[in-house]
Structure 1
């Protein structure tokens, strides 16, 4: 079984990659979430995310198909918005893991106080299984950084 961890633990283990990922997600409001449908096929939808109090949070409208997908199967992949045109300033960042729905009133109240989402809503905190950053270096190298819980970042570079 793959080890899982929250954003704070990832940030402590790999602070540079965590800062880069937060900056990449912070560049745009909407990103792409992949979930699994009942039949196991993928579904992609838009989503806003928040990095708050050591967690990566996913908030969703009530009974949205993505929320129902995550209730049934918590596995997800999250892709940072690549932006306009061909440039991906800061590289491409993807996060995979499990989304855990938050029902605790105190936890939800803290999120509401900070973010102020429309009510009602689904709230999920994440357990990370992988963070990947892909970028171009010196206009000729494709650089892929891969992090998994309990492992150092692996960096692959190719021309």
Structure 2
């Protein structure tokens, strides 16, 4: 079952709105991929939410693009912003990145985003969305969503 951003939004609209707002608050975020030797690699990345998809655009031949071509698993963390506030909480998404070569899809993306040419384009298939935040200055709350399951909230004091 392919679970894209639209499916997540339909299943959990409140959490999806919060997560998207955290990513849209800043331009650059942190992407984790797997190197050829299996070791993790973290790099900066801009993301886009368009037409029910979460998209990654990358420079041609970038190491993160080569990593995703070889092993599509990724972890993405929203930029926490300056200081210690983290308004909206800490947000992470894991999943698989699928490269898009379809000329019509890439042309539609270019029309809206205007990325430097040429570029790699990946759409995402979500496996987990996690939001961690403080509630009432008392509880650390971890909300976890996985495809086909409701959000599970864990609270710690």
Normalising by structure 2, report the TM-score. Answer: 0.99
CA distance in 1, matches of 2:40, 2:109: 28
Aligned ranges 1:71-82 → 2 under 5 Å: 71-82=69-80
100, 103, 116: which one aligns with 2:101: 103
2:145 match: 147
**1:86 matched to which residue of 2?**
84
Aligned equivalent of 1:125: 123
Structure 2: stretches of 5+ with no match in the other structure = none
SS at match of 2:9: helix
Corresponding residue of 1:69: 67
Q: 1:4 Cα shift? A: 4.1
* Residue 6 to residue 125, structure 1, CA distance change in 2 (3 Å): same
Deviation at 1:138, TM superposition (A): 1.1
Contact 1:100 1:127 in 2 (8 A): yes
Question: Which stretches of structure 1, 4 residues or more, deviate above 2 A after TM superposition?
Answer: none
Cα deviation digits, residues 78-122 of structure 1 (max 9, x gap): 000001111100001000000000000000000000100000000
Q: RMSD value over aligned CA atoms?
A: 0.6
Contact persistence 1:4–1:129 (CA under 8 A): no
Q: TM-score, normalised by structure 1?
A: 0.97
Q: Which of 53, 56, 74 does residue 55 from structure 1 map onto?
A: 53
Counterparts of 2:90 and 2:33, CA distance in 1: 19
- 2:154 is paired with a residue whose SS is strand
Do structure 1's residue 8 and structure 2's residue 6 form an aligned pair? yes
Equivalent residues, number: 157
**SS class of match (1:63):** coil
